Structures are given as C-alpha cells and as structure tokens.
Amino acid sequence: MTREYREEKDGIVYEIAKPEHYEDAKRLFLNDFLEREPLALAAANNNKFKTDEEQENEDIRRWLTPLLESQLSILAKDATTNEIIGLRTCKILKKGCAKEPTVEGSISIYLEDIKNVDFFGKYGVEEVIEFVFLVVKDTHTRRGIAKELVNRAMEIVKKQGYRAVIVSATNPITMNMFEKQKFDMLKELSISNYTIDGIKAFPNATAGQVGKLFGKALV
C-alpha cells in the first residue's frame, strides 16, 4: 500500500521516501553522509563501501532499497528547486528474527555490537523502528531540517502502530539532538578502543571517540 504524506515548512517539503528516490538517496548517502559521518571517517579503509564500483553499487542497492520500499522513511525537498536535500531512513526490527545480511566491514560489525541491548524488553514491544541514517545536504544544514526529519519520522511510524524507536549515533551533533529530545541513552560503546579479532577497527578515531544507542517510547 502506498503511503502518502506531504507537508511544507519554511521552504522545505517533507514526503515519504519511495523506491523511485533511490538515486537521490544513494547520492546523499555517498556524497553527504559518508563524507561527514565520524564513524565512516574513523574507519579509514576498514569498510567495504568505495572499494570496487560494481560491488559498491550492488551493496548499496541491496541495503538501501528495502529502506525505501518500507515507505516509513521520510525525505526533505527544497520547495523552490525540488531538489532532495535530506533523508531519514527507517527499518523494522522484529524480536527474535535473525540479523539481516549487511555490508561487510568494521562499521557494520560495530553497529551490530552497539545494538546488543534488550530494547524490546525495555519498551515491551515485539517490533521497534530503527532509524538507520540521517543526512541533510551541506547547503541546507543549520536550518532545523534534521530535527524535523526525526520528528516527522516518529509521527509517521507512530501512526503505523509502532511504539518505540532506536537509533545509533556517532556524531556529537546528532547525539546532542537526541539528548535534547529526551531519548533514553541505552548504551555507550567506544570507537577509539574498539577492536575486531584483536585489531583496532577504527585507526583514524580520535581519543575518547564513542557511539551511543538511543531509544524512545512513542506515547
């Protein structure tokens, strides 16, 4: 079923992200998210994205397409140019389900580890919505668009009957945003000291760099 949502605020249009937005979503992920995301920068070459163009395209397609097919993700467009300048992606996590296949690399392993928390029990639910990644194009930052994307995504998934969300944050700016919005801090995990098989996973991490898992009941 196609879900419809469209609202405009301060020159920005917010809509449901759909499969036809794939190329724009991919562009935002590669050119605006990965280039500024602290965890990706800390990983250096310990991440499978951007190693081989053909494999990269297949990995991203396999990972990103379901996020758009769910019609739970939300995008932001510049109302004047109609350019997609922001995206908040969402996926459904079900209690007891096996972990879905994902892209190999230190980032994926770390993100699975930080989610090793019984958030289903904490919120008394069988399903939660995971906020996967949040990006706003550099030309449109500092306008409150990221906060709007988060709040509107919560509004959309709540209307669909979901009662809790979780999100892994490694950017201090987004951590601060979730703290201000009264998200629960469920777990903190070091990035600078994180190892895989005894090897430092994030060679470019700064001392004391951490990630945090946040959660929030939708009431």
The total of other beta-carbon atoms located within 10 Å of residue 189's CB is 18
- Asked whether the beta carbons of 27 and 35 are under 8 A apart, the reply is no
C-alpha closest to that of 136 among 36, 22, 9: 36
For the chain, give the number of residues: 219
> 104 — phi, psi (to 5°)?
-70, 160
Tens digits of pLDDT across the chain (219 residues): 457 899 999 999 999 999 999 999 999 998 999 888 999 889 876 555 445 566 667 888 988 999 999 999 999 999 999 999 999 999 999 998 866 655 558 888 999 999 999 999 999 999 999 999 999 999 999 999 999 999 999 999 999 999 999 999 999 999 999 999 999 999 999 999 999 999 999 999 999 999 999 999 998
Pairing between strand 164-169 and 184-190? Answer: unpaired
> 134 — phi, psi (to 5°)?
-125, 130
Tokens found for residue 147:
């906060």
User: What is the distance between the alpha carbons of residues 92 and 190, in angstroms, rounded to a whole number?
Assistant: 26
User: What is the distance between the alpha carbons of residues 208 and 171, in angstroms, rounded to a whole number?
Assistant: 13
Query: For the chain, which domains are there?
Result: 6-217 (3.40.630.30)
